[in-house]
Amino acid sequence: MKRQLAALLLTIFALSLTACGETAAESETRTVYAMDTVMNLTVYGENAAAALEKELHTLDEAVLSRTAEGSELYALNTSNGETVECGADDILPALIETALTISDATEGAFDPTLAPVLDAWGFTKDERRVPSADELKELLSHTGCGKVALEKTADGWTVTLLDGAQLDLGGIAKGYAADLLRAQLEKEGVTSATLDLGGDVFVMGRKTDGSDWRIAVKDPVDTESYLGVVSAADKFVVTSGVYERYFEENGVRYHHILDPKTGCPAESGLCENGAWADALSTACFVLGPDGALALRDDLADQGTNFELILVTDDGRVLYTDGLADAFTPNDESGYTYEALA
Ligand code: AMP
Ligand code: MG
């Protein structure tokens, strides 16, 4: 199997998509701009409007934005190695803990400490450039989860970033925000909703007519087209792809998902937890098809199951057996489809 991917999508109980569900029931939609992306949140049922109004604060930039001066993450990243104290219910340390766990589970393919390297490529500030090999080597000496000391204390947490480390949570934050939104909507008694956080989608419950949601998976090469449709209920559908953020220099395309081993763009799904879905999709992109499928087997042995749709640069769409019934290929897309046994 070719290692290089034009784009690889994946997910865990959930992929990039547009939930296409029609329903006559009462519904309320909000379009918000948060986390650098346009989000569409639609809630069905009697208290739809009230429930949605209460929950939007979850997407508050004040916590997880890396660039907004004054956010909690910004303060941590500029703490110069000093220990930062956090409350027991704070979102930031809980998300860091999840990110470290997933980094471990993916043997470092998902690495939340790549902030300085992403900055050097200019992805953070839209000033794109290709760093030199020496620069990348130096920057990589400040990355790795071993440089993040997270401890639970009697009152909450402490976090210390050692040796110039800085965190970038862009590969997991949207999935985590979807988890929080979902939990809060459930508390309000909502049973049916679609939360599209800029292509990472959570479909809550079923459509009000009792049928599954149908989610169109975007073609990573021709984003006007789609690869197929996934049917799902209570699932996250998350994608990672090269089409989202990239630049070209001297005919080479550089995209925003980095291989933590080299600091360069990686050559190279469906889940019930958004943070895991989001982070695993990023990790699988780094690993390429063979590595992604091996990780899927390993995690299945440990009780974490997810399905994948992989798009290779030679025009094939591979999808795992758990999607055999749920995924309907788009016959007009021009791709060759292979269901993996
Ligand atoms: P996603 O679209 O969820 O795959 O996330 C991509 C974002 O994750 C990038 O824009 C970076 O902010 C961050 N990122 C890039 N490479 C990695 C990596 N190897 N591990 C974790 N996060 C990464
Ligand atoms: Mg991700």
pLDDT, tens digit, 9 for 90 and up, residues 132-145? 999 999 999 999 99
**CA–CA distance from 200 to each of 67, 121, 180 (Å)?**
21, 24, 14
Ligand 1 touching residue 319 (CB < 6 A)? no
Distance in angstroms between the alpha carbons of the first and the last residue of the chain: 14
Tokens of 3: 């290692």
Whole-number percent of the chain with pLDDT over 70? 87
CB 157 within 8 A of CB 146: no
Residues paired with 43 in a beta bridge: 28, 193
Which residue has 């992604």 as its token pair? 292
**What pTM does this model have?**
0.87
Atom of ligand 1 nearest to the CA of 240: 4
Low-confidence winner among 14-28, 93-107, 114-128, 324-338 (lowest mean pLDDT): 14-28
Ligand 1 touching residue 168 (CB < 6 A)? yes
Residue 337 has pLDDT above 50, yes or no: yes
Helix ranges (H only) for 9-144 are 48-55, 61-64, 72-77, 91-105, 115-121, 133-140
- Identify which ligand lies nearest to the alpha carbon of 240: 1
Atom of ligand 1 nearest to the CA of 110: 20
| Distance (Å) from CA 39 to ligand 2 centroid | 16
User: At a CB cut-off of 8 Å and minimum separation 6, what does 272 contact?
Assistant: 12, 13, 234, 235, 236
Ligand 1 touching residue 145 (CB < 6 A)? no
Ligand 1 touching residue 260 (CB < 6 A)? yes
CB 99 within 8 A of CB 110: yes
Tokens of 340: 């993996």
DSSP SS3 for 40 = strand
Residue 323 CB neighbours (<10 A): 22
Distance (Å, whole) CA 95 – CA 100: 9
